[in-house]
Structure 1
Amino acid sequence: MQIRWLTAYLDFAAAQFGTEVTYWRAITGSTVSPPRGPHREFATLEPFTGDSHLRVQRIEEGPGGVHLDIHLDDPRRAAVEVTELGGSLVADHPTHLVYESPAGMRFCLVPVHGTPRRSGPIRWPEDTISIIDQICIDVPPTMFDREVTFWSLLTGRPTRPGSRPELIGLRRDRALGLGILLQRLDSGTGDDGFPVRASAHLDLATTSVVDEVGRHEGWGATVVTRFAHWTVMADPVGRRYCITDRNPRTGQ
């Protein structure tokens, strides 16, 4: 299965959609495409160079989140392999197939259009360079090894150690706009005591975490936790993501 492109979808609750699109457009330096879909629920965050790897969706139920679209020449043919690897079909639509990974991470198989070209990072007025270039899949501890194996086999990318023991990355395909990182959670249950499923958040690479954090705070984000090489942020409605000390051009 040859993956031609990866797109991260930000799924926003209807009441938050306008506020969230404005915020994420601003911090990524993007423009927003005209809405599309039967209910005008989809839009693209369009970069100044290259092709988009970030899109937004308005959902009518639930808190939203992040899911991954995998672009392929023949999604239905690829679906056979996904099932053999342990993926579970959730919905079969004329335009795409919705699957879940073994740990419950949602993703879609969609047809590729054209030959997508990786976008470049943005240089901001304070001379900081940044780009959202990674999706991090947060996995319950009991499913972590299984999930790492699933995504490595699905993408055909070998694993690489992260900066901490709980992080495992997939080696980057330089042709794609997004990298994939997996993080082992501390617990397999949520605050309500129920088991948690795998979910995802976005990571931004920057040449200056301090400058980037300040810029995001100016748009209404707040700092959640600071670590040596990254800072966990919450956007204006509480959605978490990370600003990381990585090379925005290589992802390393």
Structure 2
Amino acid sequence: MPDLAAIVIHCRDPYLLAPFWSAVTGLPVAEEDQVRLADRSLGPTEAVLLRDPSGHRPDIWISPADDLPAPGRIHLDLVGDAEERAAVLDAGATVVRELPRWTVLADPEGNEFCLLPRAEAHGDQTPPGH
């Protein structure tokens, strides 16, 4: 089977979402894209790369798109404890709804994602919509 190489997150504003998803995933913005973000010099279709320096995790591309459905074109499931949940909220996420075993959150553009406690992440139940 092929390996997962990258995840693409389509967005309206890469200047807003690249720092958000970098903070939430812990993946740093690629050096060449750090300058473009700081200078606000991205081209209209230019994506921002978040890359794990160790190469153990897939890349994430934050890519501008004109036509986006609500609540977005992605749905990620993240795993974290209470401290990590607080960090995600501090980074700019909002709570959409609390469910018995996980929380549905939204990034600053409204793309929904789930945060599961570590104990739930390896259970037999999959969040709805998957």
TM norm. shorter chain > 0.5:
yes
Instruction: Say if 2:95 and 2:103, in contact at 8 Å, map to a contact too.
Output: yes
Q: Distance in 2 between matches of 1:60 and 1:237?
A: 12
What displacement does 1:39 show?
6.4
Using the size of structure 1 for normalisation, the TM-score is 0.38
Matches within 5 A, 1:211-226: 211-226=83-98
Structure 1 match to 2:16: 19
Higher helix content, 1 or 2:
2
Cα separation, 2, equivalents of 1:3 and 1:31: 25
Aligned to 1:109: none
Give, in whole Å, the separation in 1 of the partners of 2:96 and 2:44: 34
1:230 and 2:102 matched: yes
Which amino acid in structure 1 is aligned with residue 27 of structure 2? S
Residues 152-177 of structure 1 show CA distances to partners (whole Å, capped at 9, x for unaligned) of xxxxxxxxxxxxxxxxxxxxxxxxxx
* Bigger relative CO (Cα 8 Å, ≥ 6 apart): 2
Change in Cα spacing, 1:57 to 1:217, as seen in structure 2 (3 Å) is closer
Mean Cα deviation higher: 55-64 or 23-32? 55-64
Distance 1:205 1:47 in 2: 17
Inter-CA distance 40–238: structure 2 relative to 1 (3 Å threshold): closer
Moved more, 55-64 or 4-13: 55-64
Q: Shift of residue 220 of structure 1?
A: 1.6
SS of structure 2 residue aligned to 1:31: coil
One-letter amino acid of the counterpart of residue 20, structure 1: L
Q: Tell me by how many angstroms 1:6 deviates.
A: 4.3
| Structure 1 position 8 matched with structure 2 position 7 | yes
Distance, in Å, in 1 between the alignment partners of 2:56 and 2:48 is 14
**Identity in percent:** 26
Structure 2 equivalent of residue 61 of structure 1: 66
**Counterparts of 2:66 and 2:44 in 1: how far apart (Å)?**
14
Unaligned runs of 5+ in 2: 34-42, 123-130
Asked if the contact 1:45/1:52 (under 8 Å) is kept, the reply is no
Q: Is the 8 A contact 1:41 1:59 kept in 2?
A: yes
Between Structure 1 and Structure 2, which shows a larger proportion of strand residues? 1
- The structure having more radius of gyration, on CA atoms, is 1
Check whether the contact 1:42–1:55 (CA below 8 A) recurs between aligned residues: no
Residue 2 of structure 2 aligns to a residue in which SS?
coil
- The secondary structure found in structure 1 opposite 2:68 is coil
Q: Letter of the aligned partner of 2:19 in structure 1?
A: T
Q: How far does residue 218 in structure 1 lie from its aligned partner after superposition?
A: 1.0
Q: Distance in 2 between matches of 1:39 and 1:8?
A: 20
**Which residue of structure 2 lines up, in the alignment, with residue 245 of structure 1?**
117
Offset from partner CA, 1:5-62 (integer Å, 9 cap, x none): 342211112xx11010010011111211235xx9662332112433441322433411
Question: CA separation of 1:230/1:242 partners in 2, compared to 1, >3 Å: closer, same or farther?
Answer: same
What amino acid sits opposite 1:41 in the alignment? Answer: E
Cα deviation per residue 1:182-224 (whole Å; 9 max; x = unaligned)? xxxxxxxxxxxxxxxxxx4001012x1x322211111121111
Aligned length: 110
State the one-letter code of the partner of 1:9: V
